[in-house]
Each structure stands twice: as C-alpha cells, then as structure tokens.
Structure 1
Amino acid sequence: MTARGDRPTYPEIGATAGALPDGYHHAVRSRVIGSGEQTFHRAADRLLGWQLQRRAGAGFRADSATAVPGARVSVRVGWGPVGITAPCEVVYVVDEPRRRGFAYGTLPGHPVRGEEYFGVEWRADDTVLLTIKAFSRPATWWARAGAPVARLAQRRITDRYLRSLDDSS
C-alpha cells in the first residue's frame, strides 16, 4: 500500500456522488441482486466488509475491516506473475436507511486516475439494486497504450463485482 500521507491522484474527489466529471472514461452499471429488507442489509454488510472485491476473485488487502473514510486498500488484478496492483483510499461512505455504499479513489502507484463507487439500494418496489459508478483516465504511458485492453479488463471485473452479492452468493 502507499504512504499514509499520499492523497488521491485526481482533483474531483467525491464526484461519483453526483454527475461524473468531463475528461474521463465513465462507467455506470447496475444489477438487481434480490429483494427485501433482509437482502438489503446482508448485501450492505457484505459490501462494506469488502466481500464484493473478495468474492469477485480480485487480490485484495485493506487496512480496515470495513469501508470507512480514509481506509486504504490495494486491489491486484492479473494472471499469475503478470498483474497490476492498484492502491486506493475510501473517500466517502453512504449510510442511509435504504442506501449504503462507499467510493474509493486512486492513489499514487495506481495505473489510472479516478474514483469508483459501490452501492446497494433497497428500492420502493422492494428490489435491491447493486450499482457501480466510476470515472477514470490513464495515469501512466503504459496505461494509455493499453487503454483498450484495460477497459476490457475493467468491464470483466465489474461483471464479477455485479454477480458477487446476489442472493445466491
């Protein structure tokens, strides 16, 4: 993980809570993962306890048992010895009666700059929706050169995230 004094590598900290900023690649994906209050609370607990990342198969480390502002995480994606470690910091947490989640932002050493939000919502129709919302752009020359491959990899991990908290998990 990065040094404690490191700050997120982009100026629009917290922007996934509203309109995504210009000048970045945007991704917004949602999936119904079940229904009812019990499902919502179970999914929220799993989400805030880092289970979304762990169940999706990403290499993952955190310096906190749950997602709290300032928590540092490191996500590793790749195959065998070939992989990328991506340090992030939780920049905000949502804790509302029918909506819970968090966003983390990139830190120095991450191949991109940006932020990703993970949230669950218990909707009025009783469904429970998992949403992932992100903005990013390359931070290194090799991330720029590999942008098409990186976007494909990002889409695949997002698909795994979206499947990781449904009722059958």
Structure 2
Amino acid sequence: MKSSDLAGLPFTYAEVGATAGPPPPGYHHLHASAVIGHGRARFADAVEQLMRWGMQRGAGLSVDATTEVAAVGSEVVVGLGPVRAPCRVVYVLDEPDRRGFAYGTLPGHAESGEELFAVRYDPSDDSVHAEVSAFSRPGTWWSKLAGPVTSSLQRIVSQRYLRAI
C-alpha cells in the first residue's frame, strides 16, 4: 500500500477533527507531552521537524507521504515492520504558540480514530513542549483481539514521538 493509492478513501470513523476538542466517547484516549527545550528558536526548529513527519520518522516509523510537509489532505502510510497504517491529515494547527497537525485513519489501518501531533511554546517559562493526543478503537478483528497489546504499543510509540523531535 502506497500513499498515492489512498485518494478518495473514506475515513474509518465519524468524528473527523475531534482531536481539536474533548475526545469523543467510545474510544481509548491518549494524551502525552514532554518538555523538549526552551526558547523560540527551539520551538521553530521543532515545528520544522514536526511538519515534515519528524515525529514519525524519529520514532522509527517508515513514512510514505503525498507531501513533504503535512497539510490538510496529505495522505500518508506510516509503517512499523510489516504493519502499514494509512492516514489522511484532517487539520493543521497554525497558532503563534502552537503548531501541528492531526491525521485520521483510512481503510487498511488496524485502528480507527485520530491522532494529533503538536509543538507548543509556553511564554510564561520559555519552555517548548511536544504533545500527542489520540482517540482510537480497534478497526479490525485482529486488532480487537490484540487490544491490550495494541494499547501498550500505542503508549510506547507515543513516548518515542515525544523524544523524536
């Protein structure tokens, strides 16, 4: 499966864009964050990495995307070993102190849901934070069967995302 094969595929969940607000009920919810440095220069550098799929690549995932920089409508297949996860960017954050993007699952993904990747600058203490938020539930019979393992893997990969940039 390649990113260029994803055009026109529907999302596998109804709550498209919901990582922008309170997580929807009926899903496993995840939120992780970490301080990754200080200063506006660090914020700018982290944003540059993030928007070029840096969290995914830095976490050890393969990335096949239709765009070099994440943008609304960008399609991407991230991979871990033989597992491929097709997604589409649903929105981009472009605020003075917070930047990032969220992507949602497409058919062929083991899970159903959405994940937000962001970098936030806190002017009160000059700190820069990496953030990951997600809601998901099994999208296949085998991911439902592997539920505890899948949830554990998602937590591990989320921590790798935070250290990646």
Q: TM-score normalised to the size of structure 1?
A: 0.93
Q: CA deviation at 1:123?
A: 0.6
Instruction: Please provide the CA RMSD for this pair.
Output: 0.9
What is the CA–CA distance in structure 2 between the aligned matches of 1:121 and 1:5, rounded to whole Å?
32
Equivalence for 1:44: 47
What is the CA–CA distance in structure 2 between the aligned matches of 1:37 and 1:17, rounded to whole Å?
24
Does structure 1 retain, via aligned residues, the 8 Å contact 2:6–2:75? no
| Gap regions ≥5 residues in structure 2 | none
What is the CA–CA distance in structure 2 between the aligned matches of 1:3 and 1:46, rounded to whole Å?
24
Give the match's secondary structure for 2:67: coil
Alignment counterpart, residue 29 of structure 2, candidates 10, 16, 26: 26
Q: CA deviation at 1:3?
A: 3.1
What is the CA–CA distance in structure 1 between the aligned matches of 2:32 and 2:160, rounded to whole Å?
12
Post-superposition CA distance 1:102-155 (Å, at most 9, x none) = 000000110110000000011122100111000000011101000111111111
Aligned residues with identical type, % of pairs: 49
What is the CA–CA distance in structure 1 between the aligned matches of 2:67 and 2:83, rounded to whole Å?
21
What is the CA–CA distance in structure 1 between the aligned matches of 2:132 and 2:54, rounded to whole Å?
14
- Counterpart code for 1:58: L
Post-superposition CA distance 1:78-123 (Å, at most 9, x none) = 3xxxx31000000000011111000000001101100000000111
Matches within 5 A, 1:108-147: 108-124=107-123, 125-147=125-147
Post-superposition CA distance 1:19-68 (Å, at most 9, x none) = 00000000000000001000000000100011111111112111100000
- Counterpart code for 1:41: A
- Counterpart code for 1:16: T
What is the CA–CA distance in structure 1 between the aligned matches of 2:103 and 2:88, rounded to whole Å?
5
Give the match's secondary structure for 2:161: helix
What is the CA–CA distance in structure 2 between the aligned matches of 1:66 and 1:110, rounded to whole Å?
21
Matched, 1:105 2:118: no
| Gap regions ≥5 residues in structure 1 | none
Q: CA deviation at 1:16?
A: 0.4
What is the CA–CA distance in structure 2 between the aligned matches of 1:99 and 1:143, rounded to whole Å?
33
Q: CA deviation at 1:77?
A: 1.5
What is the CA–CA distance in structure 1 between the aligned matches of 2:160 and 2:75, rounded to whole Å?
22
Matched, 1:157 2:157: yes
Q: TM-score normalised to the size of structure 2?
A: 0.95
Equivalence for 1:12: 15
